[in-house]
Amino acid sequence: MRRFTFNAGTLLSLLLCVGSIGALVRSHCRIDYVGHTHIHRRPDGKLVCTDWTWMTQGGGASFTWHESGMLAGLELEPGADWRWDTDPVVHHDQWCGFGYQRLSQGNAPSTPDPLNTLAFWFPLWVPAAVFGALPAVRLYRRVPALGMRRCTR
């Protein structure tokens, strides 16, 4: 059972590595967005919009979570919506680093509705390297080095 679990984990890791490399290559010519918007009513009766977006572009990926209060005049019904979009890359942004941003505005007098944003980004070679580590170790252990045969005495 342990061997099956380890082999399944290696296969999953290899598939995620190949997918990360595919996303890395595609991100240099396309910008891909996947997102979800959820409008819900809080216990106090206010409508709140929660939105998250996953984006790949220019060799990197970013995740953004955003929550904001809805305007009082809008009469929207609670619900959820998924979206996916792709655009061609107009110019190449050369960001290859890691980043993190958090913005929070409470119930300040200038902003009657709360606003919270959390975003982080990273280069896509990181998940490819992390997911490729287990298959690489397995391959290294299974294939003997060229020219170095084990002596069986």
Residue with structure tokens 């993190």? 100
pLDDT tens track for 47-81: 788 899 999 988 889 999 988 876 555 666 677 88
Q: How far apart (Å, rounded) are the C-alpha atoms in residues 75 and 127?
A: 42
pLDDT tens track for 20-43: 999 999 988 889 999 999 888 778
pTM (2 decimals)? 0.71
Per-residue DSSP letter, 142: H
